[in-house]
Amino acid sequence: MKYGARNEITATVTKIKKGEVMCQVDVGDIIANKMSSVMTMESIEEMGLKEGDKVKVVVKAVSVLLIKE
Amino acid sequence: MKYGARNEITATVTKIKKGEVMCQVDVGDIIANKMSSVMTMESIEEMGLKEGDKVKVVVKAVSVLLIKE
Amino acid sequence: MKYGARNEITATVTKIKKGEVMCQVDVGDIIANKMSSVMTMESIEEMGLKEGDKVKVVVKAVSVLLIKE
Amino acid sequence: MKYGARNEITATVTKIKKGEVMCQVDVGDIIANKMSSVMTMESIEEMGLKEGDKVKVVVKAVSVLLIKE
Amino acid sequence: MKYGARNEITATVTKIKKGEVMCQVDVGDIIANKMSSVMTMESIEEMGLKEGDKVKVVVKAVSVLLIKE
Amino acid sequence: MKYGARNEITATVTKIKKGEVMCQVDVGDIIANKMSSVMTMESIEEMGLKEGDKVKVVVKAVSVLLIKE
């Protein structure tokens, strides 16, 4: 199974909150050795981002795809 | 600083690959206690997803926002 | 009407599921001659993807925009 | 293999355009019986969308995930 | 023309930066009376967000669709 | 605070619509001097987009991140 995405994390479902149309699934026991972001060159220059910098990695839950292999 | 997103992870920039318009930033030393996905009820029912299930968490790098506090 | 997006598909609404804040709209009679994905070079190299390969095209419903012309 | 996404389409890679950081992958021979969009109730009410309506389905290529099973 | 999206803004193209696969388009003369975000209830509760609050609205350029009518 | 995103807009929360899992937050008093979109070169060539063109900027509410500083 090969995915056209840079972020592949292994985890375990810890909680499921169900609504009428949508639901929220929380996961824990997260194993994530590496993550990647893609942004514009303009953004990285304005951030002055360089190797070694501490960053916050923010992802909206709607952009997170869960796969049950 | 409070973000309207469920996934807030702390990490360190490990590599930057620059192009003309876009760039890829890899991060490591990832501290992620919890992550969340939002999907349709139809999806979760078809997946038969329940607490305790092992899952792959897949996120495209374009959906990952880095913030330098 | 010209859209800054690579995937333009014609379809017919088949079902609407309404919630309080969100709703899910299913479509059928899909006419899609071509679709496109954008990913990082790192992803495509790791996938070893080449012309002629069979692939699964996965898109979260939140990323799908419907337009009534 | 079960995906937490409503849109699962089978296709064949027809063309790959490579850049330094990103690449575009086009696919054809598309088999898509059903697709789904999720939007706000406000949007659907403003659109006056109902079963039987012809719509354009627009998706940005960055939101399209390819998987090689 | 009716769009299944809450954010419809009128603007004028001010600058175009072209790469091999991707390009960045900047716009100005922005007319935006209202914008909307959708997030989880958990997020809004943790933010303690209420009417009258000043907020920063952040959107990645890859999520912005331009349409030439 | 530096964000890896091109679109940073200042606004005020005007309305909150709450559901079980998701909520919609509307904002007004929008101050947006510049916005940016990233798309494929193929899209911009097919649109024939050039400086000075009037465009509609469309963003799905799920892609809009609110931050309370």
Cβ atoms of F39 and C2 closer than 8 Å: no
- Residue D45 CA, distance from chain mean position: 23
The answer to whether B23 and B17 have CB atoms below 8 angstroms apart is yes
pLDDT on residue B49: 97
Q: Are E64 and F61 spatial neighbours (Cβ–Cβ below 8 Å)?
A: no
Residues of chain F in contact with residue D38, where contact means CB-CB under 8 angstroms, are 62
Whether F69 has a pLDDT exceeding 90, the answer reads no
- Cα dihedral F64, E27, F44, F7, rounded to 10, equals -30
- B24 to C39: CB separation less than 8 angstroms, yes or no: no
CA F1 to chain CA mean position, Å: 19
C3-11 average pLDDT score:
96
Tokens (6 digits) for A45: 């220059």
Reading the block at residue E11, the tokens are 């603007």
E33 band by pLDDT with thresholds 50, 70 and 90: very high
Distance, CA of C17 to CA of B40 (rounded, Å): 11
- For chain A, which residues score pLDDT lower than 50? none
| Residue B61: per-residue pLDDT | 98
Give me the pLDDT at residue D42, please: 98
Taking only the tens place, the pLDDT of each residue in C13-58 is 999 999 999 999 999 999 999 999 999 999 999 999 999 999 999 9
Cα–chain center distance at B62: 10
Cβ B1 vs Cβ A41: under 8 Å: no
Within 8 A of D2 by CB-CB distance, chain B residues are: 46-49
Complex ipTM, two decimals? 0.97
| CB-based contacts of A37, cutoff 8 Å, min separation 6 | A57, B24, B25, B27, B61, B64, B65, B66, F4
* Res E7: pLDDT: 97
Point out the residues of chain B with pLDDT beneath 70: none
Tell me whether residues A24 and E39 touch, CB distance under 8 A.
no
- Mark residue D49 as left, alpha or beta (left: phi above 0; alpha: psi -120 to 50; beta: remaining): beta
pLDDT tens, D6-60? 999 999 999 999 999 999 999 999 999 999 999 999 999 999 999 999 999 999 9
Q: C18 to chain A nearest CA, in Å?
A: 7
What residues 11-30 of chain D have any CB closer than 8 A to a CB of chain C?
A: 11-16, 18-28, 30
Q: Find residues 28-67 of chain E whose CB sits inside 8 Å of chain B.
A: 37, 39-40, 42-44, 46-49, 58, 60, 62
What band does D1 get if pLDDT is binned at 50, 70 and 90?
A: confident
Structural contact between residues C43 and A5, judged by C-beta atoms closer than 8 angstroms: yes
The per-residue DSSP string of F1-47 comes to: -EES-SEEEEEEEEEEEE-SSEEEEEEEEEE-S-EEEEEEHHHHHHH
Q: What average pLDDT does the segment F30-48 reach? A: 97
pLDDT of res. E1? 85
Question: What is the model's pLDDT at position D69?
Answer: 86
pLDDT digits (tens, 9 = 90+) for E2-29: 999 999 999 999 999 999 999 999 999 9
Predicted local distance difference test score (pLDDT) of residue B1: 85
Q: What is the mean pLDDT of residues E20-39?
A: 97
List the beta bridge partners of residue A11: B55
pLDDT at A15: 98
Domain ranges of chain C: 1-51
d(CA A8, CA A3): 8
User: How many CA atoms are closer than 13 Å to the CA of D8, on its beta-carbon side?
Assistant: 13
Find the CB nearest C59 among D5, D34, D39: D5
